[in-house]
A and B are shown apart, each in its own frame.
Chain A
């Protein structure tokens, strides 16, 4: 059986202007939302308490708020989980109280009001000290990912391992200098990114550049999806983003390898046509792998339960965008480079 027939020739490259528009708009929306609202961070990073409670019968959110009044926690965020169970999430916003007691207090308050059928399913309490630690860990994970991926990409994509060493040296020097000057991890992340992009530009590592820009595109739009839906960004979501980075690179590697293979062939074709042909040749594999991965993630999203739900959502968006970016972002960047700099 073959869904993607051989010899298929969809004009992806021709449609790239539309792709620029879509990608551009999505990224702009994300940046706008970032500046205006900012992301919603989970308790992992902000500290606070989250309590997931189940009742035997559905209650109104106001009732629950009333129950929390005696302990002065009625200003908490209360959400209802969709479904047939009467399950709710209480997010305590106050941070200047004794967080350790909240679990107990809320449980007693709810039992006092509703008497029976109160079941505390899950509690997550993160004190400010731990919140800071977790934020630091997440930032370090992002930082090291950028480092390793940048070093790997610069060598692998150009098939010049010398480039890897150059990239590694440049990154180590610049990051270490910044660190000695007292820069925090967030700044180190930006510096690493700028050094990587800059070096790719100057050393004419266009494949690496294309891949990196596609990665930034993927992560940004996934974060944007979280901003639009106002879902919380927790440690698990950061993990999802890093996984998406790994996955999206796979995709891009496949297409770029094919482009390079076709470039080595004796028949000379104009670059855009060759790129398009390469995309079409790998289309079968791309569509298939993305589909199978998407379907399993969809199963996780629909059936996996509320706890893993947001993680599955991130993966869903990330994989879709990751596949799209290999075709409509990474490859066109090669074309832009070709047009601007004329070399192969």
Chain B
């Protein structure tokens, strides 16, 4: 036993050393260290969960069905163009749900020409035709491709938007079922951030229909090819919203995808902010054509189906620049510029889960968690020392090592500490003494039967070992299942419990035994103070 002590002390010492190495990067003193020290230390640290740091957790559902619809609608527009080019007349062309497009031609002999055009330009479509009817259907792989693309693009766009927000350590990733997870720690204005992220930001330019009356249309008779959209103004006095209807031609002449830049400026005359947008060369050409063909007509600027403004086109605009005014606040203008720069979402997203923790609650939770841990821990430490004497103090030392190992373990895995995680640490403190209690009670029993100290310690540890292993195993099983099926905070709990149990077995059995052996086998103390 004496010979064993040295290598055991080295092993234990090594474990503590490794533990400290991994723990230091997570401690405040890390910043005060010189650079050479920082280089040799590992770069993993403990992350604080959103519930301790404050921040937003969002799950966004991407409306992939809409993406497919939009894709098909765009195809219809392009086909219209193609058919006009080749002088193919049709009676009807419409989208069929999410499946494809049905076309009814005027002349059956056009069918072959059309088929070859479609085969050439759209190989992803399956074509069937019967007399004058041509049915185009999306192949299933193509449908999936469109849906996946929509999610990928949404991911990119949201990343761009979040980038502009300037958040440290954002976590944005794809999840199953066409959802996107967004976690932003430390956000000061969560409501604004959420609005920014979820905005579809589809910018469209449409002509106002000045030939028909808005009032007639409101009564129910909307002329074909038109639609009614509203401009929402806030009455500055009452704060109530006023909706002003506009009768517009449905056809979208230009969208925001051609925008290369968007800046907030202040109109010197009215002192109100507006957004100044710049188009790319293609967009500039389209814009020049639209404005050139429609001088003196009103062009409505629409964002997410809400009319922002509808200025009169005074002149052909060739510079590729435009202004979006709308009597919004500085912050609204700023946010609008952000989404225009980052681009529109390819399909609408819906927030289906939101967990926001304000920074003050996060701080509170950390404080309270630490306080509970300290008070609980202090009680256990004092109690063990009183009840089990010197042996109790040995157990206390093991407990402290235990906590060190839990924290290092978290750092080593780059795990996240959550509030339930702190609860897990507190629970581990309470349960950790169990192992020592089992051993000590057994040692006491053996001493009572008259055994000498060394024999009593030996038997105590031996008998108790299997039981400790067992007892911890059941809690470990529960923790592992919780890890598998739990969400973020619950996972934090499972992780701290699991690490705690494993660390506990090491400290309670291995480490304390070293100390006992040293005192009684090496130093030869006669009386077991337990």
Interface residues of A in 227-270 (CB under 8 A from B): 235-236, 239, 242-243, 245-247, 249-250, 253-254, 257
Partner-binding segment picked from B25-33, B161-169, B187-195, B400-408: B187-195
A72 touches B (CB below 8 Å) = no
Known contacts A100-B350, A103-B194, A305 near B420 by CB under 8 Å: no
* B448 with A141: CB separation less than 8 A: no
Partner-binding segment picked from A16-24, A198-206, A295-303, A331-339: A295-303
* B485 with A140: CB separation less than 8 A: yes
Known contacts A235-B490, A292-B380, A103 near B356 by CB under 8 Å: yes
A181 touches B (CB below 8 Å) = no
Interface residues of A in 291-343 (CB under 8 A from B): 292-300, 302-305, 307-308, 311-312, 315
A residues less than 8 Å from B434 (CB atoms): 250, 285, 289, 292-293
A130 touches B (CB below 8 Å) = yes
Contact indicator per residue, chain B 326-356, by CB within 8 Å of chain A (1) or not (0): 0000000000000000000000001111111
Question: In the complex the two chains form, what is the Cα distance from A311 to B441 in whole Å?
Answer: 31
Question: In the complex the two chains form, what is the Cα distance from A148 to B477 in whole Å?
Answer: 8
* A311 with B423: CB separation less than 8 A: yes
A residues less than 8 Å from B423 (CB atoms): 300, 304, 308, 311-312
Question: In the complex the two chains form, what is the Cα distance from A156 to B469 in whole Å?
Answer: 12
* B478 with A243: CB separation less than 8 A: yes
Instruction: Quote the shortest CB–CB distance from A291 to chain B (angstroms).
Output: 8
Instruction: Quote the shortest CB–CB distance from A317 to chain B (angstroms).
Output: 14
* A123 with B190: CB separation less than 8 A: yes
Instruction: Quote the shortest CB–CB distance from B459 to chain A (angstroms).
Output: 13
B residues less than 8 Å from A220 (CB atoms): none
A76 touches B (CB below 8 Å) = no
For A52, the closest partner residue in chain B by CB is B361
For A249, the closest partner residue in chain B by CB is B474
* B481 with A144: CB separation less than 8 A: yes
A residues less than 8 Å from B51 (CB atoms): 307
Taking a contact as CB atoms closer than 8 A, the residue among B198, B365, B379, B474 that contacts A100 in the complex is B198
A15 touches B (CB below 8 Å) = no
Question: In the complex the two chains form, what is the Cα distance from A285 to B364 in whole Å?
Answer: 36
B residues less than 8 Å from A156 (CB atoms): 470
* A293 with B431: CB separation less than 8 A: yes
Contact indicator per residue, chain A 112-127, by CB within 8 Å of chain B (1) or not (0): 1000000111111111
B320 touches A (CB below 8 Å) = no
Taking a contact as CB atoms closer than 8 A, the residue among A144, A294, A304, A305 that contacts B485 in the complex is A144
Question: In the complex the two chains form, what is the Cα distance from A295 to B422 in whole Å?
Answer: 16
Known contacts A288-B387, A295-B430, A103 near B478 by CB under 8 Å: no
Contact indicator per residue, chain B 23-53, by CB within 8 Å of chain A (1) or not (0): 0000000000000000000000000000100
Contact indicator per residue, chain A 124-160, by CB within 8 Å of chain B (1) or not (0): 1111011000100110110011001100100010000
* A293 with B430: CB separation less than 8 A: yes
Known contacts A149-B477, A246-B475, A284-B441, A304 near B194 by CB under 8 Å: no
Question: In the complex the two chains form, what is the Cα distance from A138 to B383 in whole Å?
Answer: 37
Question: In the complex the two chains form, what is the Cα distance from A279 to B474 in whole Å?
Answer: 21
* A124 with B441: CB separation less than 8 A: no
Instruction: Quote the shortest CB–CB distance from B396 to chain A (angstroms).
Output: 12
Instruction: Quote the shortest CB–CB distance from B371 to chain A (angstroms).
Output: 5
* B356 with A122: CB separation less than 8 A: yes
* A123 with B497: CB separation less than 8 A: no
Instruction: Quote the shortest CB–CB distance from B331 to chain A (angstroms).
Output: 14
Taking a contact as CB atoms closer than 8 A, the residue among A235, A288, A307 that contacts B419 in the complex is A307
* A289 with B61: CB separation less than 8 A: no
* B467 with A254: CB separation less than 8 A: yes
Question: In the complex the two chains form, what is the Cα distance from A118 to B20 in whole Å?
Answer: 43
For B369, the closest partner residue in chain A by CB is A304
B residues less than 8 Å from A242 (CB atoms): 478, 481-482
* A250 with B441: CB separation less than 8 A: no
Contact indicator per residue, chain A 166-189, by CB within 8 Å of chain B (1) or not (0): 000000000000000000000000
* A122 with B358: CB separation less than 8 A: yes
Chain B interface size, as a band, is 35 or more
B368 touches A (CB below 8 Å) = yes
Question: In the complex the two chains form, what is the Cα distance from A156 to B490 in whole Å?
Answer: 28
Known contacts A122-B357, A124-B354, A247-B475, A1 near B467 by CB under 8 Å: no
Taking a contact as CB atoms closer than 8 A, the residue among A134, A247, A295, A315 that contacts B380 in the complex is A295
A residues less than 8 Å from B485 (CB atoms): 137-138, 140-141, 144
Contact indicator per residue, chain B 410-441, by CB within 8 Å of chain A (1) or not (0): 00000000011011001101110110011001
* B352 with A300: CB separation less than 8 A: no
For B383, the closest partner residue in chain A by CB is A292
Chain A interface size, as a band, is 35 or more
A residues less than 8 Å from B373 (CB atoms): 299
* A305 with B441: CB separation less than 8 A: no
Question: In the complex the two chains form, what is the Cα distance from A141 to B191 in whole Å?
Answer: 33
A residues less than 8 Å from B258 (CB atoms): none
Taking a contact as CB atoms closer than 8 A, the residue among B59, B484, B489 that contacts A130 in the complex is B59
Question: In the complex the two chains form, what is the Cα distance from A284 to B442 in whole Å?
Answer: 10
For B493, the closest partner residue in chain A by CB is A239
A62 touches B (CB below 8 Å) = no
For A248, the closest partner residue in chain B by CB is B474
Instruction: Quote the shortest CB–CB distance from B352 to chain A (angstroms).
Output: 4
* A300 with B376: CB separation less than 8 A: yes
Known contacts A121-B360, A246-B479, A304-B368, A253 near B467 by CB under 8 Å: yes
Instruction: Quote the shortest CB–CB distance from A61 to chain B (angstroms).
Output: 21
* A246 with B478: CB separation less than 8 A: yes
Instruction: Quote the shortest CB–CB distance from B71 to chain A (angstroms).
Output: 24
Question: In the complex the two chains form, what is the Cα distance from A139 to B429 in whole Å?
Answer: 29
B residues less than 8 Å from A285 (CB atoms): 434, 437-438, 441
Instruction: Quote the shortest CB–CB distance from A239 to chain B (angstroms).
Output: 5
B149 touches A (CB below 8 Å) = no
B residues less than 8 Å from A6 (CB atoms): 444-445, 448
A residues less than 8 Å from B486 (CB atoms): 137, 141, 235, 239
* A246 with B427: CB separation less than 8 A: no
For B494, the closest partner residue in chain A by CB is A239
* B471 with A149: CB separation less than 8 A: no
* A297 with B426: CB separation less than 8 A: yes
B271 touches A (CB below 8 Å) = no
B519 touches A (CB below 8 Å) = no
For B448, the closest partner residue in chain A by CB is A6
Instruction: Quote the shortest CB–CB distance from B20 to chain A (angstroms).
Output: 25
Known contacts A293-B431, A297-B427, A308 near B369 by CB under 8 Å: yes
B377 touches A (CB below 8 Å) = yes
Contact indicator per residue, chain B 189-209, by CB within 8 Å of chain A (1) or not (0): 011001100100000000000
- Interface residues, chain B, CB within 8 Å of chain A? 51, 59, 61, 190-191, 194-195, 198, 239, 350-358, 360-361, 364-365, 368-369, 371-373, 375-377, 379-380, 383, 386-389, 419-420, 422-423, 426-427, 429-431, 433-434, 437-438, 441, 444-445, 448, 467, 470-479, 481-482, 484-487, 489-490, 493-494, 497
| CB-based closest 3 A-B pairs | A296-B376, A246-B478, A127-B352
**Besides A3-B387, A122-B358, A300-B423, 12 other CB < 8 A contacts?**
A103-B356, A119-B358, A123-B355, A125-B354, A239-B490, A239-B493, A243-B475, A253-B471, A288-B433, A303-B368, A303-B375, A308-B422
- Interface residues, chain A, CB within 8 Å of chain B? 1-3, 6, 52, 54, 99-100, 103-104, 107, 112, 119-127, 129-130, 134, 137-138, 140-141, 144-145, 148-149, 152, 156, 235-236, 239, 242-243, 245-247, 249-250, 253-254, 257, 284-285, 288-289, 292-300, 302-305, 307-308, 311-312, 315
6 pairs of residues in contact across A and B, judged by CB atoms under 8 Å: A120-B358, A121-B358, A289-B434, A296-B377, A296-B429, A305-B419
